[in-house]
A and B are shown apart, each in its own frame.
Chain A
Amino acid sequence: MMPKVMVVTSGKGGVGKTTSSASLGAALAQRGQNVVLIDFDVGLRNLDLVMGAERRVVYDLVNVVQGDAKLAQALIRDKRIETLSLLPASQTRDKDALTEDGVQAVIEELKEKFDWIICDSPAGIEKGAQLAMRFADMAVVVTNPEVSSVRDSDRIIGLLDSITLRAENGDNFEKHLLLTRYNAGRAARGEMLNVKDVLDILAIPLLGIVPESPDVLNASNLGCPVTLHMPESTAARAYAEAARRLCGEKLEVVEPVERKAGLMSRLFGRKAAVA
């Protein structure tokens, strides 16, 4: 398989990029894929914490880019899934610590060893977010069903279509929508944008719908991706299914339904668009 470079991005902060990078990465690795997660949030690293690797960080992405450490020295192998590795971000406040050439060299080297290179983007549309997407083959756009998140996702989709290397070369650039923190009850009551609203507006294929769930918070408290910590939870199942779709399986996306709904609709859900 050709290695895939996948950026997880959103524009808006706090929508679930880091959580989704960790969970999708873990789910892919649980399927036997070789996965490396790169934290591009220079200055505000968090992926190490969500992955429970914060006490094992010695070198980071900036050290590797600047030639102060070899890639092999900086990569942290996950203790639970052996095909999963992490390249942490640095805590430096220097905004220019990463160079485009340096990032490209690191990604090229990672492509020799891994099937999936997942880039956890920082929020915003500035240099850090642009570097995270620059060398990607495809993107997961993380969106919450809420006006400012949807607007920012639209901006990011525009950016993906203009400043990625693939887009610049006129190559096809796949974009997938991951709707997170979805509250089915509130959507059904018209208090929150529903799946169709968001899909109509953003018009990119749907990779999955992750419900708002306390299990996600619990998992990150423990430093363990939810797909490992509670594989049977609704959030973990949504991430696991999204990972299968990334591997090319044609699985229908089932729209979550409110907990207190009738048994039949709880069992069968309602069909949403397919990725």
Chain B
Amino acid sequence: MSIFGFFTRTRSAPVARDRLQILLAHERRLAGQSDLVAILREEILAVIAKHMSIDKEKVNVKLDCGDNVSTLEVNVELQDIPKAVASQA
């Protein structure tokens, strides 16, 4: 604990308030589609599956809601890359 720890220790409410304000701003925007990540995951997978075979277990979708920037990260482990795609790469 820092030497200031003793003095700053108890004022956690302002942090709570700020965290809530950021979180709820996002949650309200997503209202009614709380399973947005699941929907995105299924639809993105369907598009990829049209062109190559993928293992549904090896897909990772992450959503990170930041203050200014939010990111959606989709990681798909490809099994057998079609030749055409591989040679372009």
How far does the Cβ of B87 sit from chain A's closest Cβ, in whole Å? 50
Do A190 and B24 touch across chains, with their CB atoms under 8 A apart? no
Do A155 and B27 touch across chains, with their CB atoms under 8 A apart? yes
* B40 proximal to A (CB < 8 A): no
Do A187 and B13 touch across chains, with their CB atoms under 8 A apart? yes
Do A147 and B16 touch across chains, with their CB atoms under 8 A apart? yes
Stretch at the interface among A12-20, A193-201, A225-233: A193-201
Do A189 and B28 touch across chains, with their CB atoms under 8 A apart? no
* B19 proximal to A (CB < 8 A): yes
| Residues of A contacting B71 in the complex (Cβ-Cβ under 8 angstroms) | none
**SS of B interface (majority):** helix
| Residues of A contacting B16 in the complex (Cβ-Cβ under 8 angstroms) | 146-147, 193, 197
| Residues of A contacting B27 in the complex (Cβ-Cβ under 8 angstroms) | 151, 154-155
* B5 proximal to A (CB < 8 A): no
How many pairs of A and B residues are in contact by the CB < 8 Å rule? 44
Q: How far is the CA of A270 from the CA of B73 in the complex (A)?
A: 48
* B66 proximal to A (CB < 8 A): no
* B79 proximal to A (CB < 8 A): no
Which interface class (under 10, 10 to 19, 20 to 34, 35 or more) fits B?
10 to 19
| Residues of B contacting A200 in the complex (Cβ-Cβ under 8 angstroms) | 17, 21
Q: How far is the CA of A158 from the CA of B21 in the complex (A)?
A: 15
Do A201 and B21 touch across chains, with their CB atoms under 8 A apart? yes
Cβ-neighbour of A201 out of B12, B24, B31 (below 8 A):
B24
Which interface class (under 10, 10 to 19, 20 to 34, 35 or more) fits A?
10 to 19
Q: Bits for A147-171, please: 1 = Cβ < 8 Å to B, else 0.
A: 1001100110010001000000000
Q: How far is the CA of A191 from the CA of B11 in the complex (A)?
A: 5
- Of all chain B residues, the one with the shortest Cβ separation from A145 is B13
Q: How far is the CA of A154 from the CA of B20 in the complex (A)?
A: 10
| Residues of B contacting A154 in the complex (Cβ-Cβ under 8 angstroms) | 24, 27-28
| Residues of A contacting B31 in the complex (Cβ-Cβ under 8 angstroms) | 158, 162
Do A197 and B17 touch across chains, with their CB atoms under 8 A apart? yes
- Of all chain B residues, the one with the shortest Cβ separation from A194 is B13
How far does the Cβ of A24 sit from chain B's closest Cβ, in whole Å? 26
Contact A147-B32, Cβ < 8 Å, known A154-B27, A155-B27, A193-B13: no
- Of all chain A residues, the one with the shortest Cβ separation from B17 is A197
* B10 proximal to A (CB < 8 A): yes
Q: How far is the CA of A190 from the CA of B16 in the complex (A)?
A: 10
Do A191 and B24 touch across chains, with their CB atoms under 8 A apart? no
* B23 proximal to A (CB < 8 A): yes
Do A201 and B17 touch across chains, with their CB atoms under 8 A apart? yes
Do A192 and B24 touch across chains, with their CB atoms under 8 A apart? no
How far does the Cβ of A2 sit from chain B's closest Cβ, in whole Å? 30
How far does the Cβ of B31 sit from chain A's closest Cβ, in whole Å? 5
| Residues of B contacting A190 in the complex (Cβ-Cβ under 8 angstroms) | 10-14
Q: How far is the CA of A265 from the CA of B20 in the complex (A)?
A: 30
Q: How far is the CA of A154 from the CA of B22 in the complex (A)?
A: 13
Query: Interface on A for B, CB 8 Å cutoff?
Result: 146-147, 150-151, 154-155, 158, 162, 187, 189-194, 197, 200-201
Query: Interface on B for A, CB 8 Å cutoff?
Result: 10-14, 16-17, 19-21, 23-24, 27-28, 31-32
A151-B20, A193-B17, A201-B24 known, 17 other contacts, Cβ within 8 Å: A146-B16, A150-B20, A151-B23, A151-B24, A154-B28, A158-B28, A158-B31, A162-B31, A189-B10, A189-B11, A190-B10, A190-B12, A191-B11, A192-B13, A197-B16, A200-B21, A201-B21
